[in-house]
């Protein structure tokens, strides 16, 4: 793995563990086994490296989600596969948790990949719900754009509830509740 890749991967992990504010360039360099000169050879500074790491985490999250969304099955089954996928719930969402970081919130540049990721998730779930309606899987009463936003919010809110309780049960309960509500719109 190249030095730049090690730096990005180290930054990804540290941002997930500590957030932007709590991640120092020195900590990134130490975890990557890279010197200060190497970091500044590849990146203009902490913000540049963090942006690359956030984008990488966002790409990985989208790819993991798309793997569930593109499976065979009904729209409900594919959404359920996404909602029920294996997660490190108590660590929080590696993308979503950064939205609470004051330095990320204050930077349009750092917020952009977060917003893009959530927009993509909402849009992709909406596509599945529309597809399900067109196939007759969901009744006409379902509003795909609203339901998609609610499902993304369930996941992100579930992480927060789980972390506050120091238990995965609130997350699991939120997912079960969302699936039960979505099932109420199925026609089968």
pLDDT tens digits for range 53-89 = 999 999 999 999 999 999 999 999 999 999 999 999 9
Whether the per-residue pLDDT at 47 is higher than 90: the answer is yes
Whether the per-residue pLDDT at 35 is higher than 90: the answer is no
- Within-domain flag for 170: yes
Q: Token pair of 120, please?
A: 């993509």
Q: Which domain holds residue 25?
A: 3-183
The pLDDT, as a whole number, for residue 38 is 85
Cα–Cα dist 113/182, whole Å = 28
Cα angle 77, 97, 40; round to 5: 120
Name the DSSP letter for residue 138: B
Cα–Cα dist 175/85, whole Å = 11
- Within-domain flag for 188: no
CATH number at residue 95: 1.10.357.10
Place of tokens 């790819």: 63
- Within-domain flag for 175: yes
Contact 63, 18 (CB under 8 A): no
The pLDDT, as a whole number, for residue 56 is 97
| Count of domains forming the chain | 1
Cα angle 68, 72, 78; round to 5: 40
Helix (H, G, I), strand (E, B) or coil at 186: strand
- Within-domain flag for 80: yes
Contact 177, 164 (CB under 8 A): no
pLDDT band (50, 70, 90) for residue 136: very high
Query: 138: which strand partners?
Result: 186
Cα-Cα end-to-end distance for the chain: 50
Q: Is the dihedral of CA 137, 73, 171, 11 positive or negative?
A: negative
170-178 average pLDDT score: 98
Tell me the pTM: 0.92
Ranking 36-40, 102-106, 145-149 by mean pLDDT, the lowest is 36-40
- Within-domain flag for 101: yes
146-160 average pLDDT score: 97
3-state percent breakdown (helix, strand, coil) of the chain, nearest 5 = 75, 0, 25
Q: Is the dihedral of CA 157, 161, 166, 171 positive or negative?
A: negative
């Amino acid at each position: 793995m190249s030095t730049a890749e090690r730096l990005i991967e180290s930054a990804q992990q540290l941002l997930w563990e500590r957030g932007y504010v709590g991640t120092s360039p020195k900590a990134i360099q130490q975890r990557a086994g890279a010197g200060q000169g190497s970091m500044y050879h590849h990146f203009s500074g902490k913000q540049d490296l963090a942006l690359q790491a956030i984008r990488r985490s966002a790409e990985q999250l989208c790819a993991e989600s798309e793997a569930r969304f593109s499976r065979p099955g009904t729209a409900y089954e594919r959404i359920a596969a996404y909602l029920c996928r294996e997660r490190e719930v108590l660590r929080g969402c590696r993308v979503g948790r950064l939205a609470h970081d004051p330095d990320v919130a204050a930077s349009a540049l750092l917020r952009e990949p977060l917003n893009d990721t959530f927009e993509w998730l909402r849009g992709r779930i909406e596509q599945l719900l529309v597809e399900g309606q067109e196939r007759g899987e969901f009744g006409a009463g379902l509003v795909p754009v609203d339901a998609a936003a609610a499902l993304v919010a369930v996941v992100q809110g579930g992480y927060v509830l789980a972390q506050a309780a120091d238990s995965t049960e609130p997350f699991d309960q939120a997912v079960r509740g969302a699936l039960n509500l979505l099932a109420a719109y199925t026609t089968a």
